[in-house]
Chain A
Amino acid sequence: MASIHAAVIDLKRLDQLAGSDTPIHTLDSRAKVLVTFAFIVSVVSFGRYELIRMVPFFVYPAVMVVLAGLPPLYVARKIALISPFVVMVGLFNPVFDRTVMYQIGQMEISGGWISLLSLLIRSILTVGAAFILVGTTGFTAICQALERLGIPQVFAVQLLFLHRYIFVLADETGRASKARELRSCGRKGLGIASFSSMTGHLLLRTWQQAERIHTAMLARGFVGRFHTHRKSRFGADELLFLLGWSLLFISLRTVNISEVLGALFP
């Protein structure tokens, strides 16, 4: 449990990275939200056995991480944290889908394995893009952008609160499990009874804490409107950023590069 706590503290660091001042960070948040959206749609819309054609999409996270000065190892670790869940989702693909798709020497590779791998690549790309968005924009600014792009304010505010709530829950979990560990006198089992009562207790505490934070926000004049410290104007830079990436994604999605290259240089 304590390690979950550490992981979340680590996640908060992502929000802090959003405070840097690179050219990517200073772009209007709407441009970044739209590009991320275009990226995710392009990647997700590939067929379930697609592998090779998704590879060029790695150029986006790579370029963004470099331009925005995000620590690459940190981003990689965050993505790795999610992958086990994805593997769980696709775990049974190889069992159910046994049609042979490739043959490498003696080894036959079934469609199930290909689709699992495809799922993994897809998740790395999309989760990576989402992390990069948060790390270059910050969650408040993302919510603000969504609102300015026409999402109803209620949803945008809910999203912001959800984000806060996750952190509050993690904080409370960390505190409660530390308190429990300290008073269990080093016994390993700790008892399922104390665990379940702790969980119930935790939800109540989290709820109260979230409510208190909401109160504190209201007390400081929060009326559901977002304010971020950056200037935000959708100018030429933003347009260029948006068009450049979107065109690249669309062409990578619709044109099969390797085939084109193959046709050009037979």
Chain B
Amino acid sequence: MSHHIVEAKNMQHVYPDGTIAIKDVSFHITHGESVAIIGANGAGKSTLLQHLNGCLEATSGQIRIGDTPLTKGTLPDIRRTVGMVFQYPDDQLFMPTVFEDVAFGPLNQGLSDSDVDRRVTEALAQVGAAHLRTKAPYHLSGGEKKRVAIATVLAMSPDILVMDEPTSGLDPFARRQLMSLLREFRHTKIFTSHDLDMVLDLCERTIIMHEGMIMADGPTDEIFKNETLLAACRLEKPFSMQGCPVCSRGHAQTS
């Protein structure tokens, strides 16, 4: 199943105002991998992700999805393959009701009405948003918007799932729900997150970005053991690897 491969070669991105957001990035992600891209604020994570379905165009370098290089001509096909959840749900929701918004993608895929209906119902149920079906997206709370935004992408059943900070703004229950959903998703998934415990839980591989470059790329547990590397990139160990703060505080007091 070579079509679930994501590859970037010497990619660079310069914003129109001259900010070099991505300096020189290359990676190869194979089918079924679950990869986290982590890094400090402004490291270039969102910029990188937006290249993967052509929302941004690389200043130089190449991106390949499966056997297809990303070009203007292949864009429609690539967008059908790569489902993308943006960091800010307001960028993603634009129809008058939640139902219509989630149905937008499947309708563009040319599915029949009953199929669309089924997809929408399923996707909303998966993110626990079935009750929001008839509401207007601009009347939702932040976390609800996020969940609906995720549903809009799930409804298209993409082969590759790309998510920019999927758990930001979610309540603990919704976060758990999303994590088990992602665990079940068998295809390639790539996401950025500041939720390092989720990264540790879900991703066998982690890429650390720092100031537009890849500083490390390897097995998640190894990366999180390297404290000097983490500190250099303005990162910390996940809480679950830091030892229990409550117990250690208690310990400090008694000793």
Residues of A participating in the B interface, judged by any CB pair closer than 8 Å: 9, 12-13, 15-16, 18-19, 138, 140, 164, 171, 209, 212-213, 215-223, 225, 227-229, 231
Contact = CB atoms under 8 A, between A and B. Distances in A.
B105 interface: yes
**Interface SS of chain B: helix, strand, loop or mixed?**
helix
A215 B55 contact: yes
B108 A220 contact: yes
B191 interface: no
A12 B96 contact: yes
Contacts of B103: 229
Contacts of A222: 104, 108
Contacts of B105: 220-221
Interface string B82-114: 001010001110111101100111011100010
Interface of B: 53, 55, 75-76, 79-80, 84, 86, 90-92, 94-97, 99-100, 103-105, 107-109, 113, 116, 134, 136, 138, 152-153, 156
Contacts of A223: 76, 108
A228 B95 CA distance: 11
Contacts of A171: 138
A164 to B, nearest CB: 6
Nearest to A212: B91
Contact of B91 (A138, A213, A220): A213
Contact of A15 (B76, B96, B108): B96
A221 B116 contact: no
Given A171-B138, A221-B109, A229-B100, A216 B91 contact: yes
Which of B76, B100, B116 has the most chain A CB atoms closer than 10 A to its own CB? B100
A124 B109 CA distance: 41
Contacts of B113: 229, 231
A16 B94 CA distance: 13
Given A213-B94, A216-B91, A229 B116 contact: yes
A19 B97 contact: yes
Contact of B156 (A215, A220, A228): A220
A221 B91 contact: no
B96 A19 contact: yes
Contacts of B86: 212, 216
Given A12-B138, A213-B91, A225 B96 contact: no
Contacts of B138: 9, 12, 171
A216 B96 contact: no
A178 to B, nearest CB: 15
Contacts of B94: 164, 213, 216-217
Nearest to B139: A9
Which of A138, A209, A227 has the most chain B CB atoms closer than 10 A to its own CB? A227
Given A219-B84, A221-B80, A209 B91 contact: yes
A222 B95 CA distance: 13
13 contacts: A18-B96, A212-B91, A213-B94, A216-B91, A216-B94, A218-B55, A220-B152, A222-B108, A223-B108, A227-B107, A229-B99, A229-B107, A229-B116
A171 B138 CA distance: 10
Given A140-B95, A212-B86, 14 more contacts: A12-B136, A18-B96, A138-B96, A171-B138, A218-B79, A220-B152, A220-B153, A221-B79, A221-B105, A221-B109, A227-B107, A229-B100, A229-B103, A229-B116
A7 to B, nearest CB: 14
A9 B96 CA distance: 11
Given A9-B138, A213-B91, A219 B96 contact: no
B136 A16 contact: yes
B15 to A, nearest CB: 12
Nearest to B100: A229
Nearest to B93: A216
Contact of B108 (A12, A13, A213, A221): A221
B79 A219 contact: yes
A166 to B, nearest CB: 13
B156 A19 contact: no
